Amino acid sequence: MKQETIDKLKATVRDIPDFPIKGIQFKDLTTTLKDGEALAIIADELEALYADKGVTKVVGIESRGFIGGAILAARLGAGFVPVRKPGKLPAITLKKSYSKEYGVDVIEVHKDAIVPDDVVVLHDDLLATGGTMKAALDLINEMHPKKVYVNFICELSYLHGRDVFPKDVEVTSLFDF
């Protein structure tokens, strides 16, 4: 992606100080998503990253990961799978507890969402410390897909979130701070 395009996307991100707790500088991508041109760029760039990888399922992390994940799935002709907070999915689920930068959380996915022949992209809007996505990766790997990619729109590289992922997992982001 051209630097001019990256700069355009970065300019749409809003900083929210002390959210959700004091000391956290929250990068709010809802301002990026509400910008039609930025959203179109994101859709095009995500599609370009995965168009030739044989992706069969895109897994979106609740809740902003549902947006880019669903767009990517539609663009690739793949299925969409939500990873949600506990109690939101109606069928039998697998669950994973994990530590976040400001607490402990749990995520769930339908037990039958992924099959061994699937090539999966795990998608969320932002990579900070990596805890949520690493838990999602562990959860999806319990279903033994053929291949898993990890993707974010934005990355806070100064937090070194990539370090939590195994070296054999391809991790991409469209831009970083």
- Per residue in 31-75, pLDDT (tens digit) is 999 999 999 999 999 999 999 999 999 999 999 999 999 999 999
4, 45, 64, 170: which is the annotated catalytic residue?
64
In this structure, how many other beta carbons lie within 10 angstroms of the beta carbon of residue 164? Answer: 16
List, in order, residues 6 or more apart from 109 with CB less than 8 Å away. Answer: 59, 81, 82, 83, 84, 89, 93, 94, 136, 139, 140
- Per residue in 108-124, pLDDT (tens digit) is 999 999 999 999 999 99
What confidence tier does 21 reach under pLDDT thresholds 50, 70, 90? confident
What confidence tier does 103 reach under pLDDT thresholds 50, 70, 90? confident
Q: Is 101 a catalytic residue?
A: yes
List, in order, residues 6 or more apart from 149 with CB less than 8 Å away. Answer: 50, 53, 55, 119, 120, 121, 122, 169, 170, 171, 172
CA distance 145 to 117: 6
The structural domains of the chain, with segments of one domain joined by +, span: 3-176
Q: Determine the topology of domain 3-176 in CATH.
A: Rossmann fold (3.40.50)
pLDDT of residue 100: 73
4, 62, 101, 170: which is the annotated catalytic residue?
101
pTM of the prediction? 0.95
- Per residue in 124-163, pLDDT (tens digit) is 999 999 999 999 999 999 999 999 999 999 999 999 999 9
